[in-house]
Structure 1
Amino acid sequence: MAPATPAAPKPETLAAFEAAKGFMPVREGLALYEAAVSAARELGLPLLEVGTYCGRSAILLADAAREAGTVAVTVDHHRGSEEQQPGWDYHDPEVVDPEVGLMDTLPTFRRTLHKAGLEEHVIAIVGRSPQVAKMWGGKVGLVFIDGGHTDEHATNDYEGWAPHLAVGGLLVIHDVFPDPVDEWTGQAPYRVYLRALASGAFSEVSATDSLRVLRRTGQGI
């Protein structure tokens, strides 16, 4: 039997993704989209993202949610992670609020979704991941961890959201760099990836460059 053809976003969705401000390469975006489609079709539960920034990856999650009749949820305080602050290589002065002098990616994110025609398929939560996770009451079919890259933030994202992932759902972790030579913001996501595998509750589904997809197979997180 020939292998199944990977799910691919519509050309207009891919074009919107490529035009959006953000850092995720196309290859990793396509792998994220395939995981999102799989999770949405199999479980019919919301797809949750930690780390919105300007909405580049949210476009893909929203399109996958639309196709499956569910919704994408994206969580971010929109003040930028540590590597996006002034003085760092990934700082973008275009997303600084001139009135308060702080990062504010929310307006850019909203414009991104509007241009892609996907606003109605996304619930945007403005808040800090650990606080939102504590008040979240249901299960999700996918958790995409792409927030802060310190050990504190990456660990909090995993500990906060992995328990809300339904058995059979997918945990997707971005910026996993096993070799310190390759990393650009630290190896915290790699350590979270190792922790998930060591828990016995996850098995690896795929690896595409720095993107890892794991399936929740049991309890014990």
Structure 2
Amino acid sequence: METRIVIVDDDPLVRAGLRLMLDGADGIRVVGEAADGRDVPAVLDAHPADVVLMDLRMPEVDGIEATRRVRTRQSPPAVVVLTTFDTDSEVVGALRAGAAGYLLKDMPPARIAAAVRAAATGEPVLAPDIARRLMDAVAAGGSSARDATSALGRLTDRERDVAVEIGRGSSNAEIARRLYLSIPTVKAHVSSVLGKLGVENRTQVALLVQQAGAA
């Protein structure tokens, strides 16, 4: 399936470079661009997308607020932050706003393209070199491990098994294989986990699992 993306960055050279790098790469099609977070809703109205590649620091509406606005849309696209900044506050802020992942602009093009495709299917996408630091930051500054454990307690045993696999970064196919389930059944469990935990995406499930020390 074709993955449609919108690129949001205030630097026209960055947008041009990303378009050149991603457009047509293994089924990816760039359908729109925005130079500021304030313009994203209008671009998405004109060009429906599966994934938004979102810069963080923009002059009027920053990437965190823009992500929050995107995620309030009906059937919203996944948002993947793509930035040069990896401070704890920005990483955590973006994910709490509903971003499905967080990538750095110095990642190889092939990995960025793979992350875009993964985000379109609901897979979490975190740059490996910041994933562990992110988990530590959330555990230290967010909800307590007790709160996270309590949240996971709302799940059935099988849903908890699925949540733990999400926390380990497993794909739906990997979860199906490890838990001896069909992929449609895994997808149903993932939807139930998201609903019961009150979160928007798999990355936020992974954060809760890590906070609870369940992975």
TM-score range, shorter chain: 0.3 to 0.5
The TM-score with structure 1 as length reference comes to 0.37
Structure with more relative contact order (C-alpha pairs < 8 Å, separation 6 or more): 1
TM-score normalised by L of structure 2:
0.38
* Richer in helix (by share): 2
Going by fraction, where is strand more abundant, 1 or 2?
A: 1
